[in-house]
Amino acid sequence: MYRHILVPLDGSALAEQVLPHVHALAANEGTTKITLLRAVPPVFTTSVDYSGLMASDISDSMITLEHEAEAYLEGVADTFRSEGYTVSTEVSAMPAAEAILDYAESQHADLITIATHGRSGISRFVFGSVTQKVVQTCPVPVLVMRPKHDPE
């Protein structure tokens, strides 16, 4: 039933707690493709440096962040690949919720599995809830897992 599972990860151990559930689903559902997605949106600053050095520093930082995200996703993907799954990795420059929704729709994911950070109060107001945005607007089923504790 779930042939293509999309797994958004943010690099945290908390987000990775969804991975055993992905393994179980993939084994039981005949999944043929797993996609690991990490959003690395651009960093904006309000400072202006007319010499152009700040712009190049930001560009270099973004390239570094993208490479780190790719390496991280490949490390996670290797575990699934060693078990015979077809795994692809994607790094997006879009904000997390938008990246997840865009990928799920454009690449025809059958299921999104995501761990929620469980923020509330001012933290939720400031950071928003990626999971909430995805659940409210996603055209495909979303499996939301709330980890029992934050391992970090």
**What's the pLDDT tens digit per position in 104-140?**
999 999 999 998 876 555 544 444 588 888 989 998 9
pLDDT for res 123: 47
pLDDT for res 77: 97
Distance of alpha carbon 116 from alpha carbon 21, whole angstroms: 14
Residue 117 structure tokens = 């950070």
Distance of alpha carbon 92 from alpha carbon 38, whole angstroms: 6
Based on its alpha-carbon atoms, the radius of gyration of the chain, rounded to whole angstroms, reads: 17
Look-up: residue for tokens 């495909």? 140
Q: Please name each of the domains of the chain with its CATH number.
A: 4-145 (3.40.50.620)
pLDDT for res 94: 93
> What pLDDT digit, counting tens, does each position of 58-72 carry?
677 788 889 999 999
Distance of alpha carbon 39 from alpha carbon 11, whole angstroms: 10
pLDDT for res 147: 76
Is the distance from CB of 52 to CB of 107 less than 8 angstroms?
A: no
Nearest to 36 by CA among 65, 95, 2, 79: 79
Residue 54 structure tokens = 């700040």
Furthest-apart CA pair in the chain: how many Å?
A: 57
Distance of alpha carbon 105 from alpha carbon 110, whole angstroms: 9
